Amino acid sequence: MDNLEYAQEGRTELGHLGEFALIDRLTDDFPRKNKSTVKGVGDDCAVLGTGKKKTVVTTDMLVEGVHFDMMYTPLKHLGYKAVAISISDVAAMNAVPKQILVSIAVSNRYSVEALEELYAGIRLCCERYDVDLVGGDTATSRTGLIINVTAIGEVDQERITYRSGAQLHDLICVSGDLGSAYAGLLILEREKVTYQANPNFKPDLDSYDYVLERFLKPEPRMDIVKWLAEKEVVPTSMIDVSDGLASELLHICKQSHCGCEVYEEHIPIDYQTSRVCSEMSQNMLPISNALNGGEDYELLFTIQQSDYEKIKDSKEVHIIGHITEEGTPAVLVTPQNTTIQLVAQGWQHNE
């Protein structure tokens, strides 16, 4: 058997592992050499520092044709979104964003004016969340546009929130509503297909403004981080909902060594999301969007039951379930009181 035959026989396709299993496999045996590395791979951000105030660092890459489609993505919105999703990771650590670095690879299909529009969106998001652009890099691309944002934040040591801290009987909470970003993507993809068939077609998107904005221009929930601080609540675990509720719940359960029960009737879904689902297909359920859609960038977190009184009256935070003991599955409880085991289908980009 020659080397080529052996390489092909021993080949593992990327799709067999999935994004998170691939990350685990590639980074599992990297030792830590520095005391200042508090937390490495495996959470929304790395945590660095030796003092009482820690630095959190995260990075996100957006690739044209995979994460965004320029046929319906305004460049200003894209710049804003690129920063917003990195800030969302900082929020998921219960931290406050301070700086970003932005690197781009771009083909000659884009003009200087187009990139100025992209950076206008970056600037707008920085101004809204009091973040400084402090560096980055540029390179040539042969295939379109690639954007990478590194976000840096800070948090007091006693307020850091990892995915791994959920405890038995903790309450599971989520901010905002779920599934709306995916509903927005469905509308854009539908209109794209119609336009390709008839270039004279003029889409009417006025009645879908909410779900479209949720997909094209998401907002990191820094307001929830601030609200939790005001309420003197430190979540026991937290993650942002970028890959669908089911996937994020399973991340918390895996890293906290626990199970969970969430109740379908308590999962927040906007009426516009439900309407989009009914328009698309009689078999498309809004709860499926919430569980398996993505890019909502809401915060999913757990709190001790003793903090219930502090958060129970919030209109922006919803209690959707509770943590169960180690060895139990993560399940959805339907209104008919049947249980469905959660599976991490996760967010599939335009691949």
Is residue 19 situated within a structural domain?
A: no
pLDDT at 20 over 80: no
Residue 70 shares a structural domain with residue 209: no
pLDDT at 347 over 80: no
pLDDT at 351 over 50: no
How many CB atoms are located within 10 Å of the residue 42 CB? 17
Mean per-residue pLDDT, 121-142:
97
From 159, 186, 211, the end of a domain falls on 159
Residue 83 shares a structural domain with residue 220: no
b vs e for 160-198, b when ≥16 Cβ sit within 10 Å of the residue's Cβ?
Answer: bbbbbbbeeebbbbbbbbbbbbbbbbbbbeebeeeeeee
CATH number at residue 257: 3.90.650.10
DSSP element (H, E) containing 78? helix 75-91
pTM value surpassing 0.85: yes
Phi/psi for 295 (5° steps) reads 65, 25
Is residue 347 situated within a structural domain?
A: no
Q: Name which of 12-21, 161-170, 236-245 the model is least confident about.
A: 12-21
Mean per-residue pLDDT, 40-50:
88
Q: Which of 224, 193, 192 is nearest to 296 (CA)?
A: 224
From 138, 159, 180, the end of a domain falls on 159
pLDDT one-digit tens code per residue, 311-339: 999 999 999 999 999 999 999 999 999 99
pLDDT one-digit tens code per residue, 286-300: 999 999 999 999 999
Res 202: pLDDT? 79
Which burial class, exposed, middle or buried, applies to 250 when counting CB atoms under 10 A from its CB (0-12, 13-18, 19+)?
buried
Residue 116 shares a structural domain with residue 149: yes
Residue of higher predicted confidence among 344 and 72: 72
Asked if 204 and 281 count as a contact pair (C-beta separation under 8 A), the reply is no
From 93, 124, 159, the end of a domain falls on 159
Is residue 227 situated within a structural domain?
A: yes
Is residue 107 situated within a structural domain?
A: yes
Look at the block and give the residue holding tokens 């989009």.
Answer: 276
pLDDT band at 2 (very low <50, low <70, confident <90, very high): low
Structural domain of 288: 171-341
Residue 286 shares a structural domain with residue 255: yes
Residue 236's SS3 state is coil
Residue 286 shares a structural domain with residue 212: yes
Res 84: pLDDT? 98
Residue 216 shares a structural domain with residue 310: yes
> What gap in Å lies between CA 181 and CA 297, rounded to an integer?
9
Strand stretches in 131-192, DSSP E: 132-140, 145-156, 171-175
Residue 214 shares a structural domain with residue 297: yes
Res 145: pLDDT? 97
Res 282: pLDDT? 67
**What DSSP character marks residue 159?**
G
pLDDT at 303 over 80: yes
